[in-house]
Amino acid sequence: MDGRGRAAGVGALALSGFMFGSTFVVVQDAVERAEVVPFLAVRFLVGAAVLAPLAFRGPATPGVARHGIIGGVVLLAGYVFQTVGLQHTTPATSAFITYLLVVLVPVIVAVRTRSFPPRNVVFGVVLAVAGLVALVGGVGAFGRGEILTLLCAFAFAVHLLIVGEVADRHDAFRFTFWQVVTVGALCLVPGFFAGSGPGAGYSFDGGVWVAAVFCGVGPTAVAFWGMSWGQRVVPEAQAAIVLLLEPVSAAVIGVIAGDSIGLRGVTGAVLILAAVLVSELGGRRVGAVGSELAVASETG
């Protein structure tokens, strides 16, 4: 891959991380006034509606719907584990364990390829975890909520690996559409039974509708498209580190909204940014190795 293509892929993933991070303030307020499942249904179906005109411009590639549906099911599993886990743990612990996917992804890749991750990736992961500890804290105890959230992190890691495995085979818009519409469709019917009676789950006030539409356009349609497009050229382990810009952007937006993260939070954000830069050193060589492994797996 050329340097500009790689840089564009990293940029798309960074945009996705920023978009994901922008949901924290918006969603936190919205889910206090609405049930989670119907909110997810509306958010992801809005995202699917935004993607649809771009997704069906040309002929479909073989397996795009199947791959997208599988990715969507795994993605939904991550959201369910995270939501249920939050009922039994703190938001800071949930965030820390969820973002441990940055460790899980290179471990899974190493097991699959039977090769140790490149040194720049290992160093990037170490910096990223240190940054996470500083930015959102660690884990005080480990119980039901923490176990469920760890399953969430594993599901999100698997989703990232699925995207990395098949993204270059399909149009990014169509592949993303199938992922997004799967999550929305699977949440749609259960959403009717959330709340105090049938259909009550969708009785959103105006502010919740605005939040759902905002999340559907930016942090869903744009962000998941950015993942699909960026992972065509950026290997999974490095993609996971770049996507760790999510908590950084959430912290920055929180500061703009009036929160204070202190010196420790600033240190954590700097360490995560350093992790992204370090993981990209030697990125072309890593990408070339990944391409060779992909070719070997297809021909072997």
pLDDT, averaged across the chain = 88
172 found inside a domain: yes
| pLDDT number for residue 300 | 42
Please choose, from the candidates 298, 291, 164, the residue with its C-alpha nearest in 3D space to the C-alpha of residue 237. Answer: 164
Give 214's contacts (C-beta < 8 A, 6+ positions apart). Answer: 26
35 part of a folded domain: yes
- So what's the pLDDT on residue 287? 43
Greater pLDDT, 253 or 50: 50
* Domain that includes residue 263, residue range: 15-299
Per mean pLDDT, which range of 65-69, 133-137, 144-148, 252-256 is the poorest?
Answer: 252-256
Specify if 193 maps to a domain: yes
The pLDDT of residue 8 is 93
Q: Return the pLDDT at 14.
A: 95
Mean pLDDT of 265-287: 78
Supply the DSSP symbol for 196. S
Contact between 79 and 20 under an 8 Å Cβ cutoff? The reply is no
For residue 140, which amino acid is it?
Answer: G
**CA angle 138–139–140, rounded 5-degree value:** 120
Where does the pLDDT of residue 2 fall: very low under 50, low under 70, confident under 90, or very high at 90 and above? low
Query: Residue 238 belongs to what H/E stretch?
Result: helix 236-242
pLDDT at residue 292, as a whole number: 37
Could you tell me the sign of the dihedral formed by the alpha carbons of 25, 30, 36, 38, in that order? negative
Domain membership flag for residue 4: no
In a domain, residue 3? The reply is no
CA distance 148 to 80: 9
Residue 205 in domain: yes
Q: Is residue 10 assigned to a domain?
A: no
* pLDDT tens by residue, 86-141: 878 877 788 888 999 999 999 999 999 889 988 899 999 999 999 999 988 877 77
pLDDT digit string, tens, across residues 141-189:
788 889 999 999 999 999 999 999 999 999 999 999 999 999 999 999 9
Q: What is the mean pLDDT of residues 242-270?
A: 86
- When pLDDT is averaged across residues 5-31 and rounded to a whole number, the result is 87
Question: Which of 10-24, 192-206, 278-292 is the least confident region?
Answer: 278-292
Which residues 6+ apart lie within 8 Å of 81 measured at CB?
Answer: 148, 149, 151, 152, 155
Instruction: Tell me how many domains the chain contains.
Output: 1
Q: Has residue 82 got a pLDDT over 50?
A: yes
Could you tell me if residue 123 is inside a domain?
Answer: yes
Q: How many percent of the chain have pLDDT more than 70?
A: 92
Q: Which of 265, 248, 209, 237 is nearest to 113 (CA)?
A: 237
